[in-house]
Chain A
Amino acid sequence: MSPISRRKLITSGLAATAGVAGLTAAAKVAQHYGLIPPDHGGLYGPGQTLTYAAQRVLTTHSLAREFPRSMISKLPFANETPPPTDLFKRHQATGFSDWRLSVDGMIARPTSLSLPDLKSLPSRSQITEVVCEEGWSYIAEWIGTPLDEILKAVGALPQARYVVYFSTDGNWWDSIDMADALHPQTLLTWGMNDGDLPVSFGGPLRMRVPRQLGYKSVKYVTHLTVTDSVKHIGKGLGSPNPEGGYAWYAGI
């Protein structure tokens, strides 16, 4: 081995300094353009950040694939979870006539919407695939109110950066950034394959985020919060999923 020369030492030192400065600058730029996910810390933070940033740059406006009616799965898999609470069972007994979706946070008009209120907003129907992180999938027609329409109706403020959505199951909530919240295919879904959304598939109201994996499509949604930060919600990771190792951003 040849001894390290002074020139080599200076060059390496300069390169390292430039590298650190470059990384710091890159982090600032990334933060500014919303390329840093809430679960950017920890062992897998670099991977989560690279995936989120790369996909945000690539997919901000792209539409999830929609399929012809003939491709709707005849045998969709509900991945059923038992109705979570007694309150839910009472709702079920009354045909969800008292189901409400409350919306609060950074909005002009805090609101509570009934299912008929939601259905009176412009709706959208789309045939998209549910993709589970385990590997299985099915295609269904989903009918619902675009989250974008709800945000318009309640007057979401321009500084909003995330929409957090909660279900009747207190342990199952999640959040998406505004790119997905304002995306035309992100639906508060109340219909499936020309009928009401069955309870096993998340009825009466399920968030559908077709550009992300199934675990972001939370069932039994009752509450939306519009916010500029998810730091104060739960453990501040945007969702309970990162606590179990699952990425907050589930585009892959």
Chain B
Amino acid sequence: MWYAAPVSVAGPPPNPDTPRHTAVVRVTHWITVIAFLALLLSGVEIVISHPRFYWGETGNVRTRPLFTLPIPSSRDTVPTGYGYVMPDQNGWSRSLHFQSAWAAVLTGLIYVISSLWTGHFLRNLFPVPGDRTWRAFWQVMAKCLRRAPPEEAEARSYNVVQRIAYLTVIFVLFPLVIWTGLAMSPAFDSAVPAAVNALGGRQSARTLHFIVSGFLLLFLVVHVTMVVLAGFRSRMRGMITGRALLPAERTLEHVGERP
């Protein structure tokens, strides 16, 4: 009886023929994956051209950094301590970064508007009433740390930790990374000076952009790890075809559910 499982999920038992993920969720998810990987790769390349970070409005090789990444740079003007200058990949990296950012932002807009329209956030992502406690949160965390296999129910819905993680990515990290990214645009700042001033200056914006990107990368690593632990094939099938279970499994389950 999956609905009696300790990890609670929302709503009534779903019809096994209902897609695990809607077409909008699946398509926007995979476009975001491609765009995010391109942003990550090009972002790393851009950082290599100046792997020093500052706080405040200005910062350059003659001023004290807040922190420095222990990597060589693609510019010989940056003192890195390495006697080696990396190949300069900044040009295409910047172009790829902004094109991917457009793809991610426009896809994100479609996802958010569609999800508000269909109630996806409230139904599938906002923690269910009984789960809005630290206790519920830690119960899932403890289970995960014990490396207990996922509940059957978790193939059909998200547990509270997943919900909070996804909501944080969608409503905190993505908006922050877009904001700090735009705040580095001298033209955007001319139109909306508050965007950069509120962050404490453009070097602060750049440093925050790097840190928030780090949190997004951390999410990606944990997310993929959890997908692998929960069952790579079934989770990938769910996000690609919309079906969490194979037809044979669904038939069996359908039979099994009958009283």
Contacts and interface: CB of A to CB of B under 8 A. Distances in A.
A2 interface: no
A interface, size bucket: 35 or more
Contacts of A73: 58, 60, 63
A132 B59 CA distance: 11
B58 A252 contact: no
Q: Which of A43, A64, A73, A136 has its CB near the most chain B CB atoms (within 10 A)?
A: A136
A123 to B, nearest CB: 21
Contacts of B190: 59, 62-65, 211
A137 B98 contact: no
A234 interface: no
A112 interface: no
A25 B185 CA distance: 29
Nearest to A216: B186
B60 A137 contact: yes
B13 to A, nearest CB: 24
B57 A135 contact: no
A212 B46 CA distance: 17
A67 B197 CA distance: 11
Contacts of B92: 44, 245
Interface in A219-252: 241, 244-247, 251-252
B91 interface: yes
A134 B50 contact: yes
Interface residues of B, number: 41
Given A59-B191, A252-B188, A50 B102 contact: yes
Contacts of B120: none
A27 B197 CA distance: 35
A129 interface: yes
Interface string A44-55: 101110110001
B95 A65 contact: no
B20 interface: no
Given A55-B187, A63-B190, A213-B186, A79 B95 contact: no
B71 to A, nearest CB: 14
B200 interface: no
A210 B193 CA distance: 14
A211 B60 contact: no
A44 B202 contact: no
Given A131-B186, A134-B50, A213-B186, A244 B191 contact: no
B185 A47 contact: no
Contact of B95 (A44, A131, A138): A44
Interface string B196-240: 110000110010000000000000000000000000000000000
B204 to A, nearest CB: 11
Q: Which of B91, B197, B202 has its CB near the most chain A CB atoms (within 10 A)?
A: B91
Q: Which of A64, A67, A132, A137 has its CB near the most chain B CB atoms (within 10 A)?
A: A137
Contacts of A41: none
A241 B91 CA distance: 8
B140 to A, nearest CB: 35
B48 to A, nearest CB: 9
Contact of A138 (B58, B77, B186): B58
Contact of B91 (A46, A50, A129, A246): A246
B189 A77 contact: no
A239 to B, nearest CB: 12
B186 A247 contact: no
Given A62-B190, A135-B50, A136-B59, A245 B91 contact: yes
Interface string A23-53: 0000000000000000000011011101100
Contacts of B8: none
Interface in A57-76: 58-59, 62-65, 67, 71, 73, 75-76
Contact of B60 (A48, A67, A76, A251): A76
Of all A-B residue pairs in the complex, the 8 with the closest CB atoms, nearest first, are A245-B91, A47-B99, A251-B187, A245-B92, A252-B185, A44-B95, A136-B60, A77-B60
Interface of A: 43-44, 46-48, 50-51, 55, 58-59, 62-65, 67, 71, 73, 75-77, 79, 129, 131-139, 210-213, 241, 244-247, 251-252
Interface of B: 46-47, 49-50, 52, 57-63, 75, 77, 90-96, 98-102, 182, 184-191, 193, 196-197, 202-203, 206
18 contacts: A47-B95, A51-B102, A58-B187, A58-B188, A64-B190, A65-B193, A67-B57, A73-B58, A73-B60, A77-B62, A129-B58, A129-B202, A134-B50, A136-B50, A136-B60, A137-B59, A211-B186, A252-B188
Given A75-B63, A133-B90, A137-B203, 8 more contacts: A59-B191, A76-B62, A77-B60, A129-B57, A132-B60, A136-B59, A246-B90, A252-B186
